[in-house]
């Protein structure tokens, strides 16, 4: 989400550029690009934090469900309804795999968040990468694969029935895919800023 303060800043920047009859000099170009970079940093913090904490909560829920299934097999309704189509240890393993997958995706999103810029800070010169470390990308895609395996197990167990339990296979997979989508969206924004920096022209006022 773009804050009201940033939105008003970019409205002013657009108005300034439209009103000018001459190109921006290098200092003005740097200022405009810096504003976009600052907005990118805020988007990284907001989207990765919101989605990351949501996925982490889902991971804790599935971890608790796996522990409950291990301690008391089919002790809750959403697993008890599948008693005839599943085995206790397989259900525990599937829930545990989904929990680990969600935890991996959450860790990838929440690790190495860019620092919030103070109001009087110098604007950064480059946009933060969506996922800086290779392990973050590996964890994110590993989470998708693990969630897909869990979804395949539950899909076979449900056999198209009990649609009220569709969240068991779909929930973790959708959450992990949403994490992938967010990181790709942020990466696209960063690439657009880098392209804008590459297009920066040299101009001197007479």
Domain boundaries, the chain: 24-114+122-198
Residue 131 CB neighbour total at 10 angstroms: 22
pTM: 0.76
Cα–chain center distance at 11? 27
pLDDT digits (tens, 9 = 90+) for 15-43: 545 555 566 666 777 777 777 777 878 88
Mean pLDDT by 10 residues, the chain (206 residues): 46 51 65 76 87 96 94 82 83 95 95 72 61 85 96 85 81 96 87 75 51
* Integer Rg of the chain from CA: 23
Contact status, residue 106 vs residue 62, Cβ threshold 8 Å: no
Report the mean per-residue pLDDT for the chain.
80
Q: Per-residue DSSP letters for 5-71? A: HHHHHHHHHHHHHHH-SS---HHHHHHHHHHHHHHHHHHHHHHHHHHHHHHHHHHHHHHHHHHHHHH
Tokens (6 digits) for 104: 């991996």
């Amino acid at each position: 989400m773009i804050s009201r303060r940033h939105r008003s800043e970019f409205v002013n920047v657009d108005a300034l550029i439209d009103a000018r009859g001459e190109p921006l000099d290098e200092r003005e170009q740097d200022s405009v690009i810096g504003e976009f970079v600052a907005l990118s940093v805020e988007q990284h913090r907001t989207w990765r934090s919101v989605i990351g904490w949501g996925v982490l909560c889902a991971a804790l829920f599935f971890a608790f469900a796996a522990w409950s299934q291990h301690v008391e097999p089919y002790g809750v309704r959403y697993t008890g309804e599948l008693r005839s189509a599943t085995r206790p240890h397989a259900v525990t393993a599937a829930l545990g795999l989904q929990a680990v997958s969600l935890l991996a995706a959450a860790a990838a999103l929440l690790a190495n968040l860019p620092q919030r810029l103070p109001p009087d800070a110098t604007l950064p010169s480059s946009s933060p990468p969506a996922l800086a470390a290779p392990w973050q990308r590996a964890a994110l895609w590993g989470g998708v694969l693990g969630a897909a395996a869990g979804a395949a197990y539950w899909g076979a167990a449900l056999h198209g029935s009990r649609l009220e339990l569709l969240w068991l296979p779909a929930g973790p997979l959708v959450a992990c895919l949403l994490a992938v989508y967010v990181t790709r969206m942020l990466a696209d924004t960063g690439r657009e800023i880098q392209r804008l920096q590459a297009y920066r022209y040299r101009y001197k006022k007479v």
